[in-house]
């Protein structure tokens, strides 16, 4: 069962990637790899290139990108969106999401982290 590799957008706290890595997950943050300031489209393209799902709080723009990818029949490895919530809740939901899914089960899907309460 292939594990999900996560790429965290710059609006997500870096601490989340650090904690996830400490628990054995493949998680990187745009700050970790020097990709701050890139457009949402560029961030998603980067995630696709490296077969990573992207986690963001930028719900509006990534919903649009998800629809655009679908319309163009472009592949992505999951777009996970979450409203801004307290960090402990974000961590809990993210861990629940990661333990409940595989790389294949989220491919080309827009996932709402609020579904993992």
Task: Tell me the average pLDDT across 107-111.
Answer: 98
CA gap 16, 19 in Å, rounded: 5
> SS3 of 72, please?
coil
Of residues 2, 1, 3, 4, the one with CA closest to residue 80: 4
Both tokens assigned to 15: 């601490």
| Residues across the chain | 117
Instruction: Please answer whether residues 58 and 11 qualify as being in contact, where contact means their C-beta atoms are separated by less than 8 angstroms.
Output: yes
Q: What is the pLDDT of residue 85?
A: 97
Q: What is the pLDDT of residue 34?
A: 92
Domains of the chain: which residue ranges? 15-82+89-112
Both tokens assigned to 23: 């628990």
- Dihedral sign of CA atoms 72, 39, 10, 22 in order: positive
Task: Tell me the average pLDDT across 12-40.
Answer: 96
1 pLDDT band, cuts 50/70/90, is: low
Radius of gyration of the chain (CA): 13
Task: Tell me the average pLDDT across 65-94.
Answer: 98
Predicted model pTM: 0.95
């Amino acid at each position: 069962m292939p594990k999900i590799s996560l790429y965290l957008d710059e609006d997500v706290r870096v601490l989340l990637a650090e904690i996830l890595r400490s628990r054995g997950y493949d998680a990187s943050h745009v700050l970790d790899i020097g990709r701050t300031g890139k457009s949402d489209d560029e961030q998603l393209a980067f995630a696709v290139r490296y077969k990573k799902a992207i986690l963001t709080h930028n719900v509006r723009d990534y919903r649009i990108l998800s629809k655009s990818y679908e319309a163009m029949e472009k592949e992505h490895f999951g777009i996970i969106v979450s409203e801004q919530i307290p960090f402990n809740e974000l961590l809990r939901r993210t861990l629940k999401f990661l333990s409940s899914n595989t790389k294949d089960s989220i491919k080309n899907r827009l996932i709402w982290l609020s579904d993992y309460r």
